[in-house]
Amino acid sequence: MSRTLILASNNQGKLKEFSALLSSINFDVHAQGEFNVPEAEEPHVTFVENAIAKARHAARLTGKPALADDSGVCVNALGGAPGVYSARYAGEPKSDQRNNEKLIADLSAHVDKSAYYYCVLVFVRHADDPQPVIAEGRWNGEMLAEPRGQGGFGYDAYFWLPEQQKTAAELTAEEKNRLSHRGQALRALIEKLR
């Protein structure tokens, strides 16, 4: 018997990734938009605070358990930027292309291109859950000046993985689920939920 779980996002890439992995523990994942839940405010400067706010928002408006992630790319030479502002790094409206252009321009004067994707997942049983389940993942790499690959989304085409000799956008969906920050966090979350 599968249980309904609200994903506090309308990102189809995330919905696909989460659905694939959470079906193993009998969760039927639905984007919050299916329940007419608007995007939550993300006023915080940390990933965990934003993820908690988004999970509680979705749970409050649907009356169902909710899962939120807050993730982004953190570039060491830029003091961790874009970080929590990854989706809106170049301003509104959100644009992967403009975000990538801004990041590459901001990084052009720096020798250190090291970066990492970071993800925090928060699962709440209900809106006022006093013990949210929290898991995190970190995926190390480097930023390239030119995109490579057609897969993924966000900064994936610029995120170089030295061990794989590929960008995140050149990985198969299976490889990305196994290696990524989100995949790591989701596996940790599944272990905690079991």
Domains, the chain: 3-193 (3.90.950.10)
Average pLDDT over residues 122-129: 98
List, in order, residues 6 or more apart from 139 with CB less than 8 Å away.
116, 117, 118, 179, 180, 181, 184
Tens digits of per-residue pLDDT, 145-154?
A: 999 999 888 9
Position 2 pLDDT exceeds 80? no
Catalytic residue numbers read 70
- Give the chain's mean pLDDT: 94
pLDDT value of position 66: 98
pTM: 0.90
Tens digits of per-residue pLDDT, 14-61?
A: 888 889 889 889 999 999 999 999 999 889 999 999 999 999 999 999
Position 178 pLDDT exceeds 80? yes
